[in-house]
Chains A and B, each alone.
Chain A
Amino acid sequence: MKDNLNHIRNFCIIAHIDHGKSTLADRLIELTGTVSKREMQDQILDSMELEREKGITIKLAPTRLIYDYNGEEYTLNLIDTPGHVDFTYEVSRSLAACEGAILLVDASQGVEAQTLANTYLALDNNLETVPVINKIDLPSARVEEVKKEIEEVIGLDAENCPCISAKEGTNVEDVLKAIIEKIPAPKGDINGRLKCLIFDSHYDNFKGAICLIRVFDGQVKKGDKILMMQTNKVFEVTEVGIFVPNTKETEVLSAGDVGYLAGSIKTIQDVKVGDTITSWENPTDEALAGYKEVQPVVFCGIFPVDGARYGELKDALDKLKLNDASLQFSAENSMALGYGFRCGFLGLLHLEIITERLEREFNLDIITTAPSVSYHVYKTSGDMLEISNPSLLPPQVEIERIEEPMVKVNIFSPPEYVGAIMDLCQDKRGIYKNMIYLDKRRVELNYDLPLGEIIYDFFDSLKSRTHGYASFDYEQKGYEPAELVRVDILLNGERCDALSMIVHKDKAYTRGRELAERLKKIIPRQLFEVPIQACIGNKIIARETISALRKDVLAKCYGGDITRKRKLLEKQKEGKKRMRKIGSVEIPSEAFMSILKLNDDE
Chain B
Amino acid sequence: MMMNKELSIYIHIPFCERKCIYCAFVSFCADKNSQDKYVDFLVKEIKSFKTNSRVKTIYIGGGTPSVLSEENLIKIFEALSSSFNINSNAEITIEANPNSLSENKLVLYKKLGINRLSIGIQSLNDDTLKKIGRHHSREDGINSIKLANSYFDNISIDLILGLEGEKNIYKYAETLIDLGVKHISAYMLEVHENTPLNNQVESHKFIPLNEDEVTSEYEKLVKFLDKKGFNQYEISNFALKGYESKHNINYWTFDDYVGFGISAHSFLNGIRIANASTLEDYYNGVKLKDENTDKTEIEERLFLGLRCFSGVDLKILQALGFDLRENDYYKKFLHDGILKEKEGKVYFNKNYYLVSDYIISHLLPD
Contacts and interface: CB of A to CB of B under 8 A. Distances in A.
Interface stretch (A285-293, A377-385, A551-559): A551-559
B296 interface: yes
Contacts of A554: 190, 357
A553 B299 contact: no
Interface in B255-282: 257, 259, 263-267, 272, 274
B12 A552 contact: no
A551 B272 contact: no
Interface in B207-226: 211-212, 214-215, 218
A310 to B, nearest CB: 18
A527 B355 contact: yes
Contacts of A440: none
Contacts of A575: 361
B360 interface: yes
B317 interface: no
Interface in A571-591: 572-573, 575-576, 584
B364 A569 contact: yes
A539 interface: no
Contacts of A576: 361-362
A331 interface: no
Interface in A420-438: none
Interface in B229-265: 235-236, 251-252, 257, 259, 263-265
Bin chain B's interface residue count. 35 or more
B251 A562 contact: yes
Contacts of B129: none
A551 B263 CA distance: 29
Given A559-B10, A561-B274, A569 B187 contact: no
A575 B304 CA distance: 21
**Which of B214, B299, B332, B358 neighbours the largest number of chain A CB atoms within 10 Å of its CB?**
B358
A565 B190 CA distance: 14
Given A562-B265, A569-B303, A570-B299, A555 B358 contact: no
A572 B265 contact: no
Given A551-B354, A555-B236, A563 B190 contact: no
A37 interface: no
A562 B290 CA distance: 11
Contact of B338 (A527, A565, A573): A527
Given A560-B251, A560-B257, A563-B274, A551 B361 contact: no
A558 B338 CA distance: 25
A38 interface: no
A553 B348 CA distance: 13
A560 to B, nearest CB: 4
B77 interface: no
A559 B264 contact: yes
B303 A565 contact: yes
B183 interface: no
B283 interface: no
Contacts of B61: 559
Contacts of B364: 569-570, 573
A5 B218 CA distance: 86
- Chain A contact residues: helix, strand, loop or mixed: loop
Contact of A553 (B12, B274, B355): B355
Nearest to B250: A560
Contacts of A570: 299, 364
B9 to A, nearest CB: 10
Nearest to A572: B361
Given A556-B187, A559-B10, A563-B274, A569 B357 contact: yes
A562 B236 contact: no
Interface in B267-324: 267, 272, 274, 290, 296, 299-300, 303-304, 307
B355 A569 contact: no
A563 B287 CA distance: 14
Contacts of B274: 561, 563
Nearest to B247: A560
Given A549-B355, A553-B235, A569-B364, A559 B259 contact: yes
B296 to A, nearest CB: 6
Contacts of A556: 187, 190, 236
Contacts of A54: none
A528 to B, nearest CB: 9
B356 interface: yes
Contacts of B25: 558-559
Contacts of B357: 552-554, 568-569, 572
A550 B215 contact: yes
B188 interface: yes
A573 B361 contact: yes
A565 B338 CA distance: 22
B309 to A, nearest CB: 14
B41 interface: no
Contacts of B266: 560
A467 interface: no
B272 A563 contact: yes
A566 B296 contact: yes
A521 to B, nearest CB: 15
Interface of B: 10, 12, 25, 61, 187-188, 190, 211-212, 214-215, 218, 235-236, 251-252, 257, 259, 263-267, 272, 274, 290, 296, 299-300, 303-304, 307, 332, 336, 338, 353-362, 364
Q: Which 10 A-B pairs have the closest CB atoms?
A: A552-B358, A572-B361, A560-B265, A550-B215, A573-B361, A555-B188, A555-B236, A552-B357, A573-B364, A551-B354
Interface of A: 527, 549-563, 565-566, 568-570, 572-573, 575-576, 584
13 contacts: A527-B336, A527-B358, A550-B212, A555-B188, A555-B236, A556-B236, A557-B251, A557-B252, A559-B264, A560-B259, A560-B265, A566-B303, A576-B362
Given A550-B354, A555-B235, A563-B290, 6 more contacts: A551-B211, A560-B266, A561-B265, A562-B265, A569-B303, A573-B361
